[in-house]
Structure 1
Amino acid sequence: MFDTMVITKAVAAFCGALLVFLLGNWAAMELYVPRNANAPQAYIIDTGADDEPAEDVVELTFEEAFEMADAAAGSRLWSQCRACHSLEEGRNGVGPYLYGIVNREIGDVAGFNYSGALPQAGDVWTPEILSAFIESPSGVAPGTSMNFRGISSVEDRANLIAYIESES
């Protein structure tokens, strides 16, 4: 079945197809790439953007952001949390209820089965600890069953905590 003639035809077909693609590439380069594509620019317009020094962006600390927090802005962020949590006292969902969570003891919701990855009992959910947990739940409590990637913006975390505190 595979004699010399079949192999010769297959190799000739491959070489012919390669030749067609190479000729197509050459024709496209001649048509669409200008001859002076590698030449230096004829003139440069100075916009002055390079002369100005870059301004340093000052990061807010969480304490500063929490002082200026806007609970109304936090209500928009609450939609990410309400899929698993509730702001009604005693109503657990996939996660524990968050009513009164600020300054509440960690892991102190009756009737909720925690994963055991949270910080030690006796600690309280201060706004700073909440902010760190909301930023990266698995970073604060490795092995937590909370499947949330976190909120990186300091202002957003402060607004969300202010909203939760205002609703409590």
Structure 2
Amino acid sequence: MFDTMVITKTVAAFCGALLVFLLGNWAASALYVSQNADAPQAYAIDTGEEDADAEPEVELTFEEAFEVADADAGSRVWSQCRACHQLEAGNNGVGPYLHGVVDRPIGAADGFNYSGALAQVGEVWSPANLNTFIANPAGSAEGTSMSFRGISDVQDRANLIAYIQSQS
């Protein structure tokens, strides 16, 4: 029963299986191991423990952000407004058209029925008034029918106002 042929077949099967496992390991290492495994860490999660004594970042004021506003970046933010507003003069949507809105009297878009709550904002849509209103519409004009939640980033608001102003 245990002649040399059986022993030879058993050893050959064992060596063949070992060869298949070694080739599989080599192929998997070549396919799935990152080429940048020894590269420095791409980002670190800040836990707040290391830089406790570092200076806090100073947030831009709206005036500073508006001075460096980028109308091209504002065109990307405009996609949030596009659902309800138009930039063509006289073309009202769910909201009033925004063509020439900067420095236009509040509530002066022809053909649009305003809710009356905008009197709390001011008399003219100055960039500062627009900034306040876009940041939190319901908070700056209680009772407004505009259900937009607002834009929290001051630079995004400045870019949006610059875009609207450039398209007017």
TM over 0.5: yes
1:19 corresponding residue in structure 2: none
Runs of 4+ in 1 over 6 A off after TM superposition: none
Q: 1:121 deviation in Å?
A: 9.4
1:93 corresponding residue in structure 2: 93
Is the counterpart of residue 138 in structure 1 residue 138 in structure 2?
yes
**Gap change, CA 1:73 and 1:121, over 3 Å in 2:** closer
Distance 2:141 2:122 in 1: 15
For 1:102-141, list aligned pairs within 5 A. 102-119=102-119, 123-141=123-141
RMSD, matched Cα = 1.7
Q: 1:50 deviation in Å?
A: 3.1
* Counterpart AA for 2:78: W
- Deviation string, structure 1 residues 24-43 (Cα, Å, up to 9, x no partner): xxxxxxxxxxxxxxxxxxxx
**Gap change, CA 1:81 and 1:51, over 3 Å in 2:** closer
* Counterpart AA for 1:57: E
- Deviation string, structure 1 residues 93-142 (Cα, Å, up to 9, x no partner): 00000000000000001110001110269710000000000000011110
Distance 1:143 1:121 in 2: 12
2:163 corresponding residue in structure 1: 163
Count of matched residue pairs: 120
- Deviation string, structure 1 residues 13-33 (Cα, Å, up to 9, x no partner): xxxxxxxxxxxxxxxxxxxxx
1:66 corresponding residue in structure 2: 66
Unaligned segments of structure 2, at least 5 residues: 1-48
Q: Is the contact between residue 127 and residue 161 of structure 1 (CA under 8 Å) also seen in structure 2?
A: yes
The normalised TM-score by structure 1 is 0.68
2:53 corresponding residue in structure 1: 53
Distance 2:130 2:155 in 1: 13
**Gap change, CA 1:88 and 1:65, over 3 Å in 2:** same
Q: Is the contact between residue 71 and residue 162 of structure 2 (CA under 8 Å) also seen in structure 1?
A: yes
Q: Is the contact between residue 107 and residue 121 of structure 1 (CA under 8 Å) also seen in structure 2?
A: no
Unaligned segments of structure 1, at least 5 residues: 1-48
